[in-house]
Structure 1
């Protein structure tokens, strides 16, 4: 198995962190923009898309800062996806930094998919 490569995407989301964070860490928030539906059982999140499902474990979080998930079926032990919120000290702009892993030839497709998903997030936030 080829090891996946890590990549980051940063998006300006100028909205209150206390409004954005639940969109990144709760089943109802994630089902608004990331998946069709999301169920939670402890730290296990089940994501549904067009009848298919994927299961991820919430492996780390800090309220209003970040949420990190690992796909259960991902064989790469280093791979995860993370939503992190940052605030620029000078401008007070809030940014969402998404960290993900993909096979080298799939990184551009993965970035485009995140662009689409974050556009949906911004739309749902009214920004």
Structure 2
């Protein structure tokens, strides 16, 4: 199946220090992003939604700035494939307006772009409700 990259920015009225734990920890992610998120002893994240497990590794964790999760199939042998699906969260600040933005980058199987936009608007809306931003 063809993969696409979805990129969208969302204004967040909160500080990076408040938002970051919701993007980088299992407990934070399970409040708005997935039904549940578990981490095992090998630091493998298990994102559970719609009754299915989706396994990922945190490949980037830059405190209060950037998180990237790369998804993989635990039943397949590790290979040199570099085309893994991923989700990336970047926190940026507009220097002029002092406004914070959350950039979401999702790379994975092709979906309708309008549907992706709608899904992320709902997820970010939930995140904003939780953090008050």
TM-score, structure 1 as length reference = 0.88
Where 1:83 maps in the other structure, the secondary structure is strand
Aligned to 1:57: 57
Q: How many residues align?
A: 125
1:104–1:50 distance in 2 versus 1, CA, 3 Å: closer
Answer with 111-120 or 35-44: which moved more. 35-44
Aligned counterparts, 1:1-127, within 5 A: 1-2=1-2, 4-41=3-40, 42-73=42-73, 77=83, 79-127=85-133
RMSD: 1.8
Q: Deviations over 1:98-117 (max 9, x none)?
A: 00124445332222111110
CA distance in 1, matches of 2:70, 2:20: 18
TM-score, structure 2 as length reference = 0.85
How far residue 126 of structure 1 moved from its aligned partner, in angstroms, is: 1.4
How far residue 54 of structure 1 moved from its aligned partner, in angstroms, is: 1.1
1:105–1:32 distance in 2 versus 1, CA, 3 Å: closer
